[in-house]
Structure 1
Amino acid sequence: MSTIVRPAPSDRDPSAELRGPVVERDTWFYLNIALSLVAALVVAGLLYSLVNPGPLYRFWFRTFHHDLPFDIPYFRHFFTLPQVWSGVRLTFILAILAQTTGIVLGLLAALMRTSRIAVFRAVSTLYIWVFRGTPVLLQIIIVSDGISILLLSMDPDLSGAGWVSHLAILIGSNAFAAGYLALSLNEGAYMSEIVRAGIVSIDRGQMEAAKALGMTYPLAMRRIVLPQALKVIIPPTGNEFISMLKTTSLVSVAGLQELTLVSEQTFAHSFKVLEVLVAAGVFYLAMTTVLTVVQAQIERRLGERRADVRRNPFENLRRLFLGSADLRHAAPAALPPKEAR
C-alpha cells in the first residue's frame, strides 16, 4: 500500500506574499513603457526632421539662441553620392575576404598549436604572439610600406622581373591587397585562439574513440572534433566579423577608398564635417546591425539560445522590460515523491 504525503496547509495567504513584488515589478514595467514612448517620440521627431527640418531649426534657435550646426539637406544628400556606396561595397568585400582568410589561418595556427611537433607549436606561438601583441594600425603600415621593400631584396632574379618582385609591387601599389594581407594576418592570430578553445572544449575521449575506430588524426579532427567545436567557435567568430567590419576603417591610412576615407575626402571638400561623419556612422550601424541579426539566427540554429515560448504582445513587452521571470505564475511547490509504507 502506498500513500501520498502532501504538505500541511499554511495559514498564510500565498497571494499576499506575491502582492508586493508584483506591484513593484508592475511599477517598473509601466515606467519603462513611459520612457520608451518618450524615446519613440524623440526618434519620430528626428526622422520627421529629415523630411522637414524647419521645426527642429526653430526649436534649436529658441532654446540655445544659435543656429543648429547641422545641415540636414546635405546629410540626406550624402546617402545619394555614388562614391559613398562604392566605399560601402569595398568595405564589406574587404571585411568578408579578410575574415574568411583569417578563419583559415586561425584554423591552421590552432592545429599547429595543438600539434605534437615542437616546431609547429613554436611557429604558431610566435605568430600569435607577434600579431596579437602589436597594434593592427602598425601592422597595416608595415605591410603597405615595408613588406614590399623586404620582398624586393628577396627576389633571386636580379633584373626585378621575378614573381617576388611582382608580388612586392602589388602589395606596395595596391591598397586593397595591403589591407587584405594585414587584416587577414591579424585576424588569423585571434581566430587561432578561438578555434583552439573550441577544440580544447571537446573531451579527449572523443579523439581516443575515433582513433580506436581506425581514424587518422586529420580524419577524426574533421569528422568528430571540429563539428562539435562549432558551437563554441561560431558565437565569437560572429563578434570577430563585426569587429573586422569596423577595423577596415584603419586601411584608410594606406589609401584604400573605403567608407572612412571617402567620408574624410567628402567633408574636406564640403566642410560638412559633422553631417558626413554622422552619415558614415549610420552606414556602419546598419551593416553591424544586419550582421548581429544574422549571428543571432546562427546561434539559435546551433542551440546556443533557448527557444522562448511565444505569448501575447503584452506579455512579450513584460518579458522585454522585466526579464523572463514571472511572479504572477510562480510554480507551486513540488510534491514529495511517493513512499511505500
Structure 2
Amino acid sequence: MLFYHGPKSIDDPAVRLRMGILMMGFVLTLKISIASTFFGIIIGTVVGIARLSKEPVTRWLSLTYVELIRNTPLLVQIYIIYFFVGSMLRLSAFAAGTAALSIFAGAYVGEIVRAGIQSIHKGQMEASQSLGMSYSQAMRHIILPQAFKRIIPPLAGQFISLIKDSSLVSVIALADLMFQGQQAVARTYYAFEVYFTVAFMYLIMTFTLSMATQYVERRLAISD
C-alpha cells in the first residue's frame, strides 16, 4: 500500500519501485496542504489588515467574512464550493478543495494577524508616519515584520490543524491520504492496520511542521 514493485508500463518488463495508493494520497495531501497554507497566509494577511482599517465598510466586510467562515462547518463549505461554485467555474476537485481550505484558513489567520498587529505599540506607526512613511509603507516595513515574529506559534498551530482538516476533502472524491486509506480498507478489510498507518503519515507531516516552526523561532530569537 505504501510502495510496490511492478513494471513501469505494460511494454516495460523492468521491475521498479512504484508508489502505492497511500503514498499517492500522502503526496496529494502534502500538495493541497502547502497550497492552502500559501493562499491562507495571503488571504489572512489582507483580512487582518482590513479588520483594522479606518474605513467602516472594509472593517464590516472583513468581520462578516471571518464570522461567516468561523461559524459554519468546514465540511459544508467544501460542499458549497465544490458543487455550487466549482460547477459554475468548472473547477477540478483539487482546485475546489484547495479553495475551500484556503478560505477557511484565511479567516483564522486573519484574526491571528490582527492580534499580532495590535500587539505592536501604536507609537511605532505614529513614529513611522512622522518620518514621512505612508500607512502602507509603515505596515509593510515596520509593523508586519514584527507582528509575524510574534504570531509564528499560533500560525503554526493553525496550519497543523489545516493539515488534519484536509482529510475532509475526501468527501468530494479527491484522492488524498484519507480517501486512499478508505479505499485500502475496502480492498483489504485491514481497518486497524490501514488507519493506524494513515494516522502515522499525518503525524509525520504535522510533526515536521512543528519542528520546522521551532527551528525558525530559534533562528529569529538569535537574530534579535
Task: Tell me if both proteins adopt one fold, taking TM over 0.5 as the criterion.
Answer: yes
In the alignment, is residue 80 of structure 1 matched against residue 3 of structure 2?
A: yes
Distance in 1 between the 2:42 and 2:31 partners?
A: 17
CA contact (8 A) 1:79 1:279 kept: no
Identity of matched residues, % = 42
Question: Counterparts in 2 of 1:200-279, with a 5 A limit?
Answer: 200-279=118-197
For 2:197, give the aligned amino acid.
A
Question: Counterparts in 2 of 1:151-230, with a 5 A limit?
Answer: 151=88, 168-170=89-91, 174-230=92-148
SS of 1:146 mapped into structure 2 = helix
Question: Counterparts in 2 of 1:317-332, with a 5 A limit?
Answer: none
In the alignment, is residue 135 of structure 1 matched against residue 58 of structure 2?
A: no
How many residues align? The count is: 207
Aligned to 1:326: none
Distance in 2 between the 1:297 and 1:276 partners?
A: 32
- Deviation by residue 1:178-219 (Cα, 9 ceiling, x = unmatched): 100100001000000000011000000000000000000000
Distance in 2 between the 1:278 and 1:227 partners?
A: 40
Aligned pair partner of 1:298 in 203, 211, 216: 216
How far did 1:133 drift? 0.5
CA contact (8 A) 2:86 2:96 kept: no
SS of 2:221 mapped into structure 1 = coil
List runs of 5+ in structure 2 lacking aligned partners: 5-19
CA contact (8 A) 2:36 2:101 kept: yes
Comparing both structures, which one devotes a greater share of its residues to strand?
Answer: 2
In the alignment, is residue 119 of structure 1 matched against residue 57 of structure 2?
A: yes
Structure with greater Cα Rg: 1
Distance in 2 between the 1:254 and 1:138 partners?
A: 11
Distance in 1 between the 2:79 and 2:138 partners?
A: 40
How far did 1:125 drift? 0.7
How far did 1:303 drift? 2.1
For 2:131, give the aligned amino acid.
L
CA contact (8 A) 1:106 1:193 kept: yes
Distance in 1 between the 2:194 and 2:130 partners?
A: 62
Q: CA RMSD in A?
A: 1.3
Comparing both structures, which one devotes a greater share of its residues to helix?
Answer: 2
CA contact (8 A) 2:25 2:176 kept: yes
List runs of 5+ in structure 1 lacking aligned partners: 1-77, 152-167, 305-341
How far did 1:80 drift? 2.1
SS of 1:223 mapped into structure 2 = helix
